[in-house]
Amino acid sequence: MNVLLHPTYFPSISQFAAIAQAETVTFEMEDNFQKQTNRNRMYIYSPNGVQMLNIPIKHSSESHQKTKDIKLETAFDWQKQHFKSLEAGYRSSPFFEYFEDAIMPIFEKKHTFLMDLNMETIEIVSKCLGLKLSYNKTEEYFREVDFSDFRNLANGKKDSYQFEAYTQVFEEKHGYINNLSILDLLFNEGRYALDYLKNQQL
């Protein structure tokens, strides 16, 4: 399977399932930025249920800005806030402490561009999963492609995949929550996460 995906912030389980099952991965670099998508947000399991973590971006007067040109807003300390939320959600999960040092650079390094940050989250998680990731990048935008187009997964509202349940930290309070950020699977399942991703139906 050859797949085309948008690089998103600590992508959803569906996106990582596509990456894990792909023979070749191509990342879309030439699209226009769309608000209210997972390009700059992820969903985690918090003590109160689903929580959205959103990265603030610099808004431009241009109506169509390419995602690769989107800059991060540095006036807010979103990194500190996001890491605190991850700690609150996953400190008691089986593998948080095991992977904490690996993901920490995302919350310490000052990125300028959203795309660079997203690509780094994908590379870091791939290493944590033990997934050998090699990929291509698009050089122009095609509305239609002749291989598996998973670009719509960047828009959570269009992503309706249902996956097998695994144990989650606050499951007794709020039940199983499907298709959160890959971090939810990683912190709960550790080294079993890659097998899980390869076995999901896409």
CA-wise closest residue to 72 among 104, 116, 119, 12: 116
The mean pLDDT value for 37-59 works out to 96
8 Å CB contact between 56 and 72: yes
Q: What is the pTM of this model?
A: 0.96
pLDDT band at 42 (very low <50, low <70, confident <90, very high): very high
pLDDT band at 61 (very low <50, low <70, confident <90, very high): confident
Q: What is the predicted pLDDT for the residue at 157?
A: 85
- Return mean pLDDT, the chain: 96
Q: What is the predicted pLDDT for the residue at 29?
A: 97
Q: What is the predicted pLDDT for the residue at 77?
A: 92
Count CB atoms within 10 A of the CB of residue 22: 20
The mean pLDDT value for 17-23 works out to 97
pLDDT band at 156 (very low <50, low <70, confident <90, very high): confident
Q: Using CA atoms, how far apart are residues 169 and 173, in angstroms rounded to an integer?
A: 9
What are the CA-CA distances from residue 186 to residues 24, 31, 90, 191 (Å)?
Answer: 22, 29, 10, 8
Q: Give the position of tokens 């050089």.
A: 139
Cα angle, residue 129 at apex, residues 193 and 85 outer, rounded to 5°: 80
Q: Which two tokens stand for residue 192?
A: 């079993």
Please check the confidence at residue 199 and state whether its pLDDT lies above 90: yes
Q: Which two tokens stand for residue 180?
A: 């959160």
The mean pLDDT value for 150-158 works out to 93
Which three-class secondary structure state does DSSP give residue 201? coil
Q: What is the predicted pLDDT for the residue at 115?
A: 98
